[in-house]
């Protein structure tokens, strides 16, 4: 039985693939697992049936038989454990790849999201112009650390893994900020992720949802 994930009926990112169903779609495509998508409006996300699946009333969720999961990182981890292709077999290499999954979501993503939220929601605040450079310095700090570690490698730990999938997903949030371009190896790393056929299929599928919804009757 194919798993079912949830996604926005009309994504606020206008099809840029920044909503967090995207890493889940990408992971499912990487391992060749077909899936169903249930689309939700903002109102439906906050109603009881969805909150039974997701306590915070968000997307994505993942249902597979009796199992229901939320949190994109946990869902990607579940997919990577279930199927070959996203985590190495060797125990130590696997632990290192999992470490990068956590690093993406708990060390690199927070300053990136804080900056995006400020740009999106706080532009009219008196302190915005003073705060933005502080937030951007925090992002630059992480990018330069990541750039140093990545060096000339294609991926963070040998072969492409769920760690790279989540890191590239997180870094994509910086597109259009001008920040990524200062780190040539990190920009190339993101481009390498986006060039993967599984990424492209996932991206096209989420874009098709947005295009259909926005050109509706």
Ligand X SMILES: N[C@@H](CCC(=O)N[C@@H](CS)C(=O)NCC(=O)O)C(=O)O
The residues binding ligand X (CB under 6 A) are 19-20, 57-60, 71-73
By beta-carbon proximity to ligand X, the closer residue of 21 and 183 is 21
CB of 109 to ligand X, least distance (A): 8
- Residue with Cβ nearer ligand X (69 or 156): 69
Write out the two tokens for 30: 């990487």
Contact 112, 178 (CB under 8 A): no
Question: Hey, what's the torsion of the CAs at 126, 132, 135, 137, to 10 degrees?
Answer: -140
- In whole angstroms, the minimum distance from the beta carbon of 59 to ligand X comes to 4
Shortest distance (Å) from residue 14 CB to ligand X:
13
Q: Which is nearer to ligand X, 172 or 183 (CB)?
A: 172
Token digits of residue 136:
């951007």
Nearer to ligand X, 116 or 147 (CB): 116
- How far apart, in whole angstroms, are the C-alpha atoms of residue 172 and residue 16? 9
Written as six digits, the tokens of 161 are 């893994």
Q: Which is nearer to ligand X, 40 or 97 (CB)?
A: 40
State the distance between the two ends of the chain, measured CA to CA, in whole angstroms. Answer: 33
Is residue 83 within 8 Å of 33, Cβ to Cβ?
A: yes
Shortest distance (Å) from residue 21 CB to ligand X:
7
DSSP 133-150: HHHHHHHHHHHHHHHHHH
Which position has the token pair 């190339």?
Answer: 188
For ligand X, the nearest residue by Cβ is 58
CB of 61 to ligand X, least distance (A): 9
Provide the strand spans (E) within 55-210: 61-64, 67-70
For ligand X, which is the closer residue by CB, 73 or 163?
73
Smallest distance, ligand X to C-beta of residue 74, A: 8
């Amino acid at each position: 039985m194919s798993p079912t994930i949830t996604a926005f009926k009309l994504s606020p990112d206008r099809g840029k693939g920044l909503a967090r169903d995207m890493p889940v779609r990408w992971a499912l495509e990487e391992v060749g697992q077909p899936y169903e998508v249930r689309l939700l409006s903002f109102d439906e996300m906050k109603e009881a049936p969805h909150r039974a699946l997701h306590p915070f009333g968000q997307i994505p969720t993942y249902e597979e038989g009796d199992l229901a999961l939320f949190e994109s990182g946990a869902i990607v981890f579940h997919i990577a454990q279930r199927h070959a292709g996203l985590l190495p077999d060797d125990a130590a290499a696997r632990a290192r790849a999992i470490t990068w999954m956590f690093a993406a979501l708990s060390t690199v993503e927070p300053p990136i999201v804080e900056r995006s939220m400020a740009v999106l929601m706080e532009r009219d605040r008196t302190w915005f112009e003073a705060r933005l450079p502080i937030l951007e310095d925090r992002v630059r700090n992480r990018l330069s650390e990541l750039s140093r570690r990545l060096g000339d490698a294609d991926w963070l730990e040998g072969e492409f893994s769920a760690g790279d999938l989540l890191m590239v997903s997180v870094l994509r949030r910086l597109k259009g900020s001008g920040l990524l371009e200062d780190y040539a190896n990190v920009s190339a790393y993101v481009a390498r992720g986006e060039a993967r056929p599984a990424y492209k299929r996932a991206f096209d599928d989420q874009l098709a949802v947005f295009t259909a919804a926005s050109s509706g009757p």
